[in-house]
Amino acid sequence: MLTAKPVILCVDDDPSNLRLLERTLGASGYLVVKASDGRDALDIIGRRKIDVVLTDVLMPNVNGFEICQRIKGDERYRHIPVVMMTAFDSRTDRIHGIEAGADDFLRKPFDHGEVMARLRMLLRTKQLDEMLGDSYRNIRNLTSFGSHTMTSFHPSRFDLLSQIDSLAGQLIRKHADDAGRPSTILVRVFGVSSFEWCRYEYVSGKFKRSTCVVDVPPSDSENGVGCYNNPRSLPQFQRLIQALDTLGTEVANIVCYPSNMACIFALNYGREVTKYDATVLECLAMQTLFFAHLASQIRENEEALAYTVHSLARASEANDEDTGDHILRVGEYCAILAKELGLAEETVNTLRLQAVLHDVGKVHIPVRILRKAGALDTEEWEIMKRHTLIGAKIIGDHQKFRTARLIALSHHERWDGTGYPHGHSGESIPLEGRIMNMADQYDALRNARCYKPAFNHAKTVRILIEGDGRTMPDHFDPQVLRAFRETTSLFEAVYETSTT
CATH number at residue 104: 3.40.50.2300
The total of structural domains in the chain comes to: 3
Tell me the per-residue pLDDT of 67-84, one tens digit each, with 9 for 90 and over. Answer: 999 999 998 898 899 999
For residue 2, what pLDDT is reported? 47
What's the confidence (pLDDT) of residue 321?
57
DSSP SS3 for 288: helix
| Angle at 365 (CA atoms; ends 362, 370), nearest 5 degrees | 85
Q: Confirm whether 310 is domain-assigned.
A: no
Which pLDDT value is given to residue 324?
A: 59
Which pLDDT does position 196 carry in this prediction? 82
Angle at 61 between CA 56 and CA 65, to 5 degrees: 45
Report d(CA 49, CA 6) in Å as an integer. 9
Instruction: Establish if 88 belongs to a structural domain.
Output: yes
Shared-domain flag, residues 271 and 324? no
Q: Are residues 405 and 451 located together in one domain of the fold?
A: yes
- Report, as ranges of residue numbers, the positions in the chain whose pLDDT lies below 70: 1-3, 88-90, 192-195, 216-224, 319-324
What's the pLDDT tens digit per position in 444-460? 999 887 777 899 999 99
The whole-model pTM stands at 0.64
> What is the pLDDT at residue 405?
96
Q: How far does CA 395 lie from the centroid of its chain?
A: 34
CA 166 from chain center: how many Å? Answer: 4
Domain carrying residue 454: 318-498
Claim to verify: residue 53 and residue 145 sit in the same structural domain: no
- Please give the pLDDT value at position 491: 97
Residue 186 is predicted with a pLDDT of 93
Tens digit of pLDDT for each residue in 417-445? Answer: 999 999 999 999 999 999 999 999 999 99
Burial class from Cβ neighbours inside 10 Å (0-12, 13-18, 19+) for residue 336 reads buried
**One domain for residues 353 and 234:** no
Q: Which amino acid is at 152?
A: S
Tell me, yes or no, whether 200 lies in a domain: yes
Angstrom distances, CA of residue 199 to CA of 27, 165, 168, 183, 263: 41, 10, 10, 11, 12
The DSSP output letter for 356 is G
Read off the amino acid at residue 486: E
Q: Are residues 159 and 264 in the same domain?
A: yes
End-to-end CA distance of the chain: 62
Nearest to 172 by CA among 158, 161, 160, 186: 186
Burial of 372 (0-12, 13-18, 19+ CB in 10 A): middle
- Its sign, for the CA torsion 115, 117, 120, 125, is negative
Residue 308's pLDDT is: 87
Q: By the 8 A CB rule, do 334 and 355 touch?
A: yes
State whether the Cα torsion 365-383-436-346 is positive or negative.
negative
Q: What distance in Å separates the CA atoms of residue 365 and residue 326, rounded to the nearest whole number?
A: 18
Four-point Cα dihedral 231, 233, 239, 243, nearest 10: 60
